[in-house]
Amino acid sequence: MMTGVTSRAVLVTGASRGIGRAVATVFAAGGDRVAIHHRDSAELAERLRAELPGQGHVVVRADLTDPDAVRAMVDEAAGLLGGLDVLVNNAGVYGERDAPHPVFGASYEQWRAQWRQVLETNLTGAGNVTWCAAQHMRERGGRIVNVSSRGAFRGEPEQPAYGASKAGLNALGQSLAVALAPYGITVATVAPGFVETDMTTGHLSGERGAAIRAQSPFDRVARPEEIAAAVHWLASPQAEWASGTIVDLNGASYLRS
């Protein structure tokens, strides 16, 4: 169980930049040991490892669309950290080169390629990471936090595969919150709106930037540190009763009933 644990072993996927970087930083600042996962950002991941406060942080690599690589990566992280107490499923993509794929704006080949890549990373990949991580948590309990999106609820007409993948991630999290509770493992989800990261720079700095900020009555988008703070709390020993929840983090830009 999580009670009384002072230094935990934490795996954060997609941790070399953006939200993942902020998440890794807040856990390390709290005294935890962090496995920084990346796909093809070794330099950024190593730089983050060197900058994190505390000791015992490691870097692991895997393409989340490769099930065998996922299993090897999770096992490596657990081996290097001496177990696994927390998993943050943060890694995600919009699609190849953020290519939009509306129904009447993409060829059938483009449509299928985007669905394949996005779902294999955002949903199937996260599901595989979760299965592998849960094997290490079964006897000791743990915390799993998924990073979803506002798009799971409001829809993503230009990026339907992305919206669908995040809706699936929400459902996965709630299903596993029930399935894993008897083992002392909680599963919760955060659903951010726009966040100021590398992934969204093109949108925020372009012509649509002002309109995107105006979606929130605060007239801004989120900072990665704000998302990381919520993730950190959901992974805390005090947050067991939040298992199964989906926390909206969008600055009142989209309100769901």
Q: What is the 3-state secondary structure (H, E, C) of 219-234?
A: CCCECHHHHHHHHHHH
Provide the CATH number for the domain formed by 9-249 in this structure: 3.40.50.720
Structure tokens at 165: 């993948």
Q: pTM for this one?
A: 0.95
Tell me which residues are annotated as active site.
162
Rounded to an integer, what distance in angstroms lies between the CA atom of residue 12 and that of residue 37? 6
- 189: tokens are 């989800």
Distance (Å, rounded) from C-alpha 63 to C-alpha 34? 19
pLDDT in tens, the chain (257 residues): 555 558 999 999 999 999 999 999 999 999 999 999 999 999 999 999 999 999 999 999 999 999 999 999 999 999 999 999 999 999 999 865 456 788 998 899 999 999 999 999 999 999 999 999 999 999 999 999 999 999 999 999 999 999 999 999 999 999 999 999 999 999 999 999 999 988 777 778 878 899 999 999 999 999 999 999 999 999 999 999 999 999 999 999 999 98
Helices and strands in the chain, H and E counts: 10, 7
Q: What tokens does 124 get? A: 């199937």
